[in-house]
Amino acid sequence: MQELIKLAREAQREIGGLPFSVYSSYKEQHILNAPITKPLLIFVLAGVKQLGQRDEIICPTGTFLFLSNASDIDMRNIPGEEYFAVLIEFELSDFDCFKNKRSAETRYVQGGIDARLAKTLMQFIEWAPCAPRELWHFRREELLQLIHLSGYDQVSGIVGHPSLSHQLHAIVSDNISSAWSVARLAERLAVSESTLRRRLKCEGASVKSIVNRARLGQGLFLLQTTMEPIGRIAERCGYQSQSRFTDRFKQQFGITPSELRKTREPD
């Protein structure tokens, strides 16, 4: 695991985006209602990850967890000396190889990081800094297929067809700081405002809740993966003031941005 951690840290220093993220902390993180908006593969390389209101999912060092994009989830990241995880977000199209099996019936798949999976992840990390974005999906599919062929065939049931809420979340996320309205989103989807509201109501959602979820999710991601000033993160996420961002963040996740930032600082 230490070699993987070293490689991931080195890749982080490269300029430009990467097809994976690194989450690390030196103090326990307890985050409520963390949004999972796309299928998410988590490799726990140090510490322990616990998910669910009663910590029903426990992922110690040396395990992976593949999460469905079905809902929000409570989580704890618990360090030994450090908590360290590599996260890879998948597109729904990455699952097209399972066309006849897409059902969204599986909430998560959990397993151990064996030698083959560790080697494939290592190659993924080494390749990432120099790979063009257009090729990222090939390596994600390679990981997906390896997990499937290693006996975790239920991974094919993690994702189903995208809901309207997922489609809108993707649109908002592409321009997170923009002023999104019902009218503007209805125009993007080529439907009437009343139709958009009615269809969202059937899913138990609204444009306001989707926009807030997308903005706060991006804020959580930036707080976990960068050391940007909190005020700058608030601005990037479409909030006119840091105090408004802090209030909404605390309401959603049960922790303030500054409290979360402090968990990433060693004693």
Residues 98 and 112: their CA atoms lie apart, in Å, by: 22
Assign 104 to helix, strand or coil: coil
In terms of domains, do 230 and 100 share one? no
Whether residue 113 sits in one domain with residue 175 = no
CA–CA distance from 2 to each of 80, 85, 147 (Å)?
14, 12, 22
Q: Does residue 89 fall inside a structural domain?
A: yes
In this prediction, residue 53 carries a pLDDT of: 75
Q: Tell whether 118 and 11 lie within a shared domain.
A: yes
Look up the CATH number of the domain holding residue 255.
1.10.10.60
Give the C-alpha separation, 119 to 4, whole Å. 9
In a domain, 94, yes or no: yes
Query: Residue 163: pLDDT above 70?
Result: yes
* Domain region containing 243: 164-262
Which positions ≥6 away from 126 have C-beta within 8 Å? 7, 11
Indicate if 135 and 19 belong to the same structural domain.
yes
- Judge whether 182 lies within some domain: yes
Kindly state whether residues 63 and 151 are assigned to the same domain.
yes
pTM: 0.93
**Does 157 or 241 have the greater pLDDT score?**
241
Instruction: Look up the CATH number of the domain holding residue 109.
Output: 2.60.120.810
Residue 241 shares a structural domain with residue 134: no
| Contact by Cβ (8 Å): 151, 115 | no
Residue 102, pLDDT score: 56
pLDDT of residue 101: 57
Which residue among 112, 128, 157 closes a domain? 157
Give percent above pLDDT 90 in the chain.
Answer: 75
CA distances from 95 to 63, 112, 129, 165, 233 (A): 22, 21, 24, 19, 32
Domain stops at, among 98, 125, 157: 157
Same domain, 51 and 145: yes
9/84 same-domain check: yes
Position 172 pLDDT exceeds 90 = yes
Q: Are residues 151 and 27 in the same domain?
A: yes
Token pair for residue 174?
Answer: 């592409």
Is position 267 within any domain? no
Domain tally, the chain: 2
**What is the DSSP track for 10-41?**
HHHTSSS--SSEEEEESS-EEEEEEE--S-EE
Give a yes or no: residue 195 inside a domain: yes
Which of the four pLDDT bands, split at 50, 70 and 90, describes residue 130? confident
Instruction: List, for residues 204-254, the tens digit of each pLDDT value.
Output: 999 999 999 999 999 999 999 999 999 999 999 999 999 999 999 999 999
Do 149 and 218 belong to one domain?
Answer: no
Residues 133-164, buried b or exposed e (16+ Cβ, 10 A)?
eeebbebbbebbebbbeeebeebbbbbbeebb
176 burial level (CB within 10 Å; 0-12, 13-18, 19+): middle
Compute the mean pLDDT over every residue in the chain, rounded to the nearest whole number. 92
Last residue of a domain, one of 157, 173, 189: 157
In a domain, 257, yes or no: yes
Q: For 79-108, what is the mean pLDDT?
A: 85
Residues 89 and 191 in one domain: no
**What is the pLDDT at residue 88?**
97
Whether 57 is in a domain gets the answer: yes
Q: Is 87 helix (H, G, I), strand (E, B) or coil?
A: strand
- Tell me the residue type at 100: N
In a domain, 12, yes or no: yes
Give me 208's structure tokens. Answer: 């306001």
Q: Between the CA of residue 177 and those of 20, 37, 194, what are the distances in Å?
A: 22, 18, 25
Q: What is the chain's alpha carbon radius of gyration, rounded to the nearest angstrom?
A: 19
Q: Which tens digit of pLDDT belongs to each residue from 42-76?
A: 999 999 999 987 768 999 999 999 999 877 899 99
The verdict on 122 and 187 lying in the same domain is: no
